[in-house]
C-alpha cells in the first residue's frame, strides 16, 4: 500500500472561472478537466502540476460542505489527497488502527476515481482524501 504520492491539493474558491484564469495566467499551468459533481456539491477543475495536481473547488450552493468551508474560512487550502493503489485496503488499514474516517466505504469522485475522506481530527487538523488511481 505504501508509499503514497500526493495526487492533488484542493483549494476552495468562490469563482472557479477567475481562479482557473489566474492559475493559467500567473503560472502557465494546464487545465486538465472541469466537471460538476452534484453529489459533492461542487464544480471542480484539475490543473496539472508536474506529476501531481491542484484541484479547484467552487461550491454549487452555500450550504454544501465546501460552501460552508468558504463562508467560515474564505478561499484557501481545503484538503490534500493521497494516491492509493487499493482504496479498500487503505481504508481497512486505517480503520484497523483506529483512525476516524468520514467515508468508511469508497464513493465516486472527479474523473470517476474511487475516493474516501479521512476526518481532519485524525492527523494534523488536515482533511485528507484517498484517491484510487490504479495504473495511472
Ligand atoms: Co479532492
Q: Kindly state the DSSP code that residue 1 receives in the 8-state scheme.
A: -
- What's the whole-model pTM score? 0.93
Indicate which CATH number applies to the domain containing 24. Answer: 3.10.180.10
Of 44, 53, 58, 132, catalytic: 44
* Residue ranges of the chain with per-residue pLDDT less than 70: 1-3, 135-136
In order, the DSSP letters of 41-66 are TEEEEEEEETTEEEEEEEESSTTSHH
Cα of 68 vs centre of ligand 1, distance in Å, is 16
Domain span at residue 75?
Answer: 5-132
Tell me the C-alpha distance between 43 and 60, whole Å: 7
Cα of 53 vs centre of ligand 1, distance in Å, is 10
For residue 44, what pLDDT is reported? 97
pLDDT tens for each residue of 88-119: 999 999 999 999 999 999 999 988 999 999 99
Of 40, 53, 55, 132, catalytic: 55
Q: Is 129 a catalytic residue?
A: yes
| Number of domains comprising the chain | 1
For residue 55, what pLDDT is reported? 98
Q: Which long-range contacts (CB under 8 A, 24 or more apart) does 95-104 make?
A: 99/123
Amino acid at each position: 500500500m505504501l508509499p503514497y504520492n500526493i495526487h492533488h491539493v484542493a483549494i476552495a474558491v468562490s469563482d472557479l472561472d477567475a481562479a482557473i484564469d489566474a492559475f493559467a495566467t500567473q503560472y502557465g499551468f494546464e487545465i486538465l478537466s472541469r466537471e460538476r459533481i452534484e453529489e459533492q456539491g461542487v464544480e471542480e477543475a484539475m490543473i496539472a502540476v508536474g506529476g501531481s495536481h491542484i484541484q479547484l473547488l467552487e461550491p454549487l450552493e452555500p450550504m454544501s460542505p465546501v460552501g460552508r468551508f468558504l463562508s467560515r474560512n474564505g478561499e484557501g487550502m481545503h484538503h490534500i489527497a493521497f494516491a492509493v493503489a487499493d482504496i479498500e485496503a487503505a481504508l481497512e488499514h486505517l480503520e484497523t488502527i483506529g483512525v476516524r474516517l468520514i467515508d468508511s466505504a469508497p464513493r465516486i469522485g472527479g474523473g470517476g476515481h474511487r475516493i474516501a475522506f479521512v476526518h481532519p481530527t485524525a492527523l494534523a487538523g488536515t482533511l485528507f482524501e484517498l484517491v484510487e488511481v490504479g495504473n495511472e
